Structure 1
């Protein structure tokens, strides 16, 4: 514990809900070890707009619950699982449900079609679909539709952008290695088959599209941003392929993928786009504290 104490205006903004997320985290960390500031914060909360509601809830609980025969000694209970448990809870919607099963199905289906069905078009189809898989995971892992406690979690200091980034990291941790491994395990193309990008060539585009989704989410919401970014990628692939009628669809798709993914110039472009989206995300970080934007 240091000699520093939280100013009154900082505590007032915290109890009124007007303190930015990073400042709220810092203050809460200080309150864990400073009893004086914790008591002042408690008094400020009772004296604020929510004080009357808190008093009513307290009175209702005290009247409804029978008084204990003997007051137990105060005990500090540590959350089950500690930090790991909190991380798993935060990443939960991204790792359960239909999306995780769909990622496994995409990887296993690609291998089954390539080896069992002899379907040569799998090699260009996998890098075409892989970049939008994390985008779909972000859309399905954050929001009222994904988490019954979304309003409570998003309104807490651990919610907002921090929670969104935690679930996005879980999405990427599952989809990136699984789909990349599937790409490496696909059979090599024959002599007459079109040249396709390397199995890991989609990683930077996938990261850039995911960051673009997060950046756009601060303006239009998570699901609308995912639909716009994912749909834009698929349209950018499909439009030139459908417009060109010279060769087969597989050859045209492989050629378009090579244009977008193969070589230093496209990869540097995707890296620059990732950095730009990350800067937008940092600049707009306070937008994710408002429930109506998500």
Structure 2
């Protein structure tokens, strides 16, 4: 594994060696020590200099002697077979809690309600409502995918070698893999409005918002970043469009959304925003490996 660019200072090493560091922070330190010999030496020196140093040295000597005595017996013993978890189990846990919890039926429910209302004639503006909500649904899945507030095993998975940004991206990709096809099919099945945005016009805004939330999460934590990005979308697009155009016919309302979704300038702007957020996320990738993250505070 590649060691993070952050290294432990003497104060953190002393707190870890004395057991004063909180558990999540300790696990992040241990993850860092797996790939950083300099920090491992610093922690070892701090442990030897602590009040428990002589006791630790005695335990180490006794343990080495015990291991040396057991080594010949272990060489002749037959290994115990361990059955690895199945592929479905690994995929299920890698996908994260969003695909195991209420978010998945919520997405299906939004699509189903929009189809029923539109084709039943109860709400001809259901297509517009789905278009406005579509960029927010992946954000909700990302917020539920990573963090101690949703994943009971978060401290273990986040401090494992495959944790951090890598795990967050895997779970975000799983959310998009479910959300994008469902919303696209639902949008295509809804009655079309001439001159209005197409059924896939929300894809670039959703991608930009998702990447923006991930990049902002390197500063604020995943849940807080999703709340900020979703709030900005609601204040900047969802609220004003609903208040200003909510009483218009569906045809004019869809046309009013074109500057936000379907115009070449809007699509180019969302694409540029997605690229900028992806670059920022790449620059900030190491912040997901450092133990002093907002999610662990």
Query: TM-score scaled to structure 2, two decimals?
Result: 0.72
Q: 1:209 to 1:18 in 2, by over 3 A?
A: same
Change (3 A) 1:246 1:129: closer
Q: Distance in 1 between matches of 2:272 and 2:100?
A: 32
Q: Counterpart of 1:104?
A: 108
User: Any idea what SS the aligned residue of 2:197 has?
Assistant: coil
2:22 aligned residue: none
Separation in 2 of the partners of 1:142 and 1:208?
Answer: 19
Superimposed CA distance per residue, residues 137-157 of structure 1 (whole angstroms, 9 cap, x where no aligned partner): 111111112111101111122
Structural mapping, 1:92-241, within 5 Å = 92-189=96-193, 195-241=195-241
1:90 equivalent to 2:94? Answer yes
Gap change, CA 1:103 and 1:49, over 3 Å in 2: farther
Deviation of 1:111 after TM superposition, in Å, equals: 0.8
Structure 2 gap segments, 5+ residues each: 2-6, 14-27, 49-55, 67-73
Superposed CA offset, 1:103-143 (max 9, x none): 11011111111123442011111110000000011111111
Following superposition, the deviation at residue 162 of structure 1 comes to 0.7
- Paired residue secondary structure (2:138): helix
Return 5+ residue gaps in structure 1 as ranges: 1-5, 7-11, 29-39, 63-69
Alpha carbons of 1:279 and 1:152: their partners in 2 closer, same or farther (altered >3 Å)? same
Change (3 A) 1:258 1:184: same
Question: What is the match of residue 293 of structure 2?
Answer: 292
Q: CA-atom RMSD, angstroms?
A: 3.9
Which moved further from structure 2: 98-107 or 43-52?
43-52
Contact 1:241 1:249 in 2 (8 A): no
What is residue 81 of structure 1 aligned with on the other side?
A: 86
2:172 alignment partner, SS class? helix
> What displacement does 1:286 show?
1.1
Task: For residues 175-210 of structure 1, give each alpha carbon's deviation from its aligned partner in whole angstroms, at most 9, with x where no partner exists.
Answer: 000000000011234xxxx74210011111101100
Q: What is the Cα deviation at residue 20 of structure 1?
A: 9.0
User: CA offsets per residue over residues 228-282 of structure 1, 9 Å max, x none?
Assistant: 1111112112453366479627566424421111122211111111110000001
Take 1:219 and 1:114, find their aligned partners in 2: how far apart are those partners? 41
Could you tell me how far 1:50 is from its partner in structure 2?
7.9
TM-score (normalizing by structure 1): 0.72
Instruction: Classify the secondary structure of the residue corresponding to 2:144.
Output: helix
Deviant stretches of 4+, over 4 Å: 16-21, 43-53, 249-253
Cα gap change, 1:100 to 1:72, in 2 (>3 Å): farther
Q: Distance in 2 between matches of 1:291 and 1:144?
A: 14
